[in-house]
Amino acid sequence: MAQEITLTVNGATHTNQVEPRLLLADYLRSVLDLTGTHVGCDTSNCGACTVSLNGDAVKSCTVFAVQADGADVTTLEGLASDDGTLHPIQEGFWEKHGLQCGFCTPGMIMSSLDLLSKNPNPTEAEIREGLTGNLCRCTGYHNIVLAVQFAAEKMNSGS
Amino acid sequence: MVTSSFDYYAPTSVADALALLDQHGDDAKLLAGGHSLIPLMKTRLAEPAVLIDLGKISTLSYINEQDGGLAIGAMTTYSEIAGSELVQSNAPVLAEASGQVADNQIRNRGTIGGSLSHSDPAGDLPAVALALGAQLTTSSSGAHRTISADDFFVDLLTTALEPNEILSEIVIPALPAGTGTAYAKFANKASHYAVVGVAAVVTVGSDGTCQSARIGITGAGPKATRATGTESDLVGSNLDDSAVRAAASHAGDGIDFNEDVHASGEYRAHLISVYAARAIRAAVENAS
């Protein structure tokens, strides 16, 4: 039986009728058409589906949409400014070529957002540990770390 | 993957959750962080008709100092525990192990109460609860009950919880002066589940001998267990390297070792002694 949920996604309030078994990842992609959130393994391993739920990175393939009722969700689409200016983390992935095929990138960026919000000056080891919940099958981790370091520097300089 | 259909309830108080549990009985499952239950539902190994989500009960999420120890609400997440200065101070091994569970996103959702209630044979916190001598408080309609961690883990994925009970609080007694703690695990590289994990709580006297020791083991057998042979060997010893090695060699005594794709039983039997020694050495070091 469908239930009504109301939540904020990227600053906009949405009210929808959803089946309780609808996953948050599928709600974002299929109901709200926010396909920046990717579904990779669908088993809470790969992290491609990572979004911010009330300020914490979570794997949206392992959260039911009904659990997010009343929550504040940010997806990849919510990071850039309205004028298209990239968020410093997005810019880091662009400048440092922190991607190869790009499939894992939305999750990598959303995990990096969580990491840098709680630890603005991470060491390389802390970046690698902070991103252990995100798998890159191209094994492009080296440039991903550089991208996060670029973002940290830019966010700390306030520019 | 799509789970079976279910009815979903999100009560905002323990009393309401218990009333729903009484009403739906065996049809219902409690949903905490969901990172064990939802994957089971996706593969349809679990098909509950009713989910009672504890996530909206704010009174189940807290970390308080209590009698020099801790009282922790069952819905407190691994991330909250790992980052808590109070836990780092009063029960450091709990913070250490919580910070090693899976990955950041999972630690942001997974809860201490969910971990203990699920009693996964490779879960980290059951071993820690045993080593710390935790007391687990449950709620049922009109009643409360306290279960020692020693009596809580019954078998594979099975605890002493009754179907009408909710694990509500975890109480950790104060550590005596001179106590050091540590967690050592051989983690599966992908999931970070413990292939074997050892939590050690060791009290060292002023003369350097072991006054007391509690060693919790996970990953090795069907459920978390205490290494009582290791504990009794340690007590009274001078905790030097040979004493620690000799005691740790008994860490696997009596365990019916798991055999799976990650490790043979023989390999686990070897690992458990190695990791018990590492955990004990680290605990002794932390005691000073």
Nearest CA in chain A to B102: A133
| Per-residue confidence (pLDDT) for residue B100, from 0 to 100 | 97
Q: Is the predicted pLDDT of residue B288 greater than 80, yes or no?
A: no
Average pLDDT over residues B134-145: 96
Residues recorded for chain A: 159
pLDDT tens-digit map of A3-19: 999 999 999 999 999 99
CB B6 within 8 A of CB B38: no
d(Cα B19, Cα B69) in Å, to the nearest integer? 31
Best CA proximity match to B217, nearest among B231, B206, B234: B231
pLDDT tens-digit map of A92-101: 999 999 999 9
pLDDT tens-digit map of B70-128: 999 999 999 999 999 999 999 999 999 999 999 999 999 999 999 999 999 999 999 99
Looking at beta carbons, which residues of chain B come within 8 Å of A53? 108
Looking at beta carbons, which residues of chain A come within 8 Å of B7? 1, 20
Whether A159 contacts chain B with CB within 8 A: no
Task: Output the six-digit token pair for A122.
Answer: 């991470």
Residue A83 lies in a domain: no
In chain B, % of residues over pLDDT 90: 98
Instruction: Tell me which of A50, A78, A106 is where a domain ends.
Output: A78
Residue A112 structural domain:
88-157
A103 and A39, same domain (yes or no): no
- Pick the residue of B104, B120, B193 with the most A CBs within 10 A to test the interface with A by mutation: B104
pLDDT tens-digit map of B244-268: 999 999 999 999 999 999 999 999 9
Stated as kind and residue range, the H or E segment containing A1 is none
- Domains belonging to chain B, first-starting first, are 7-53 (3.30.43.10), 58-172 (3.30.465.10), 179-287 (3.30.390.50)
| Per-residue confidence (pLDDT) for residue A159, from 0 to 100 | 55
Q: What is the mean pLDDT of chain B?
A: 97
A51 and A9, same domain (yes or no): yes
Average pLDDT over residues A72-83: 97
Query: Nearest Cβ partner of A44 from B7, B8, B39?
Result: B39
pLDDT tens-digit map of B176-198: 999 999 999 999 988 899 999 99
Question: What distance separates the 2 farthest-apart alpha carbons in chain B?
Answer: 62
A94 and A31, same domain (yes or no): no
Task: Output the six-digit token pair for B82.
Answer: 């790992």
A31 and A94, same domain (yes or no): no
pLDDT tens-digit map of B28-52: 999 999 999 999 999 999 999 999 9
Best CA proximity match to B76, nearest among B59, B89, B97, B93: B59
Looking at beta carbons, which residues of chain B come within 8 Å of A134? 103
Q: How many domains does chain A have?
A: 2
Whether A60 contacts chain B with CB within 8 A: no
Task: Output the six-digit token pair for B236.
Answer: 């009274």
Q: Is the predicted pLDDT of residue A59 greater than 70, yes or no?
A: yes
Q: What is the CATH number of the domain that holds A38?
A: 3.10.20.30
pLDDT tens-digit map of A18-55: 999 999 999 999 999 999 999 999 999 999 999 999 99
Instruction: Write the ipTM.
Output: 0.97
Q: What is the CATH number of the domain that holds A128?
A: 1.10.150.120
Average pLDDT over residues B153-180: 97
d(Cα A138, Cα A44) in Å, to the nearest integer? 19
Residue B85, CB-side half-sphere exposure with 13 Å CA sphere? 0
A96 and A72, same domain (yes or no): no
Task: Output the six-digit token pair for B274.
Answer: 């190695």
Best CA proximity match to A60, nearest among A81, A35, A80, A79: A35
d(Cα B263, Cα B93) in Å, to the nearest integer? 25
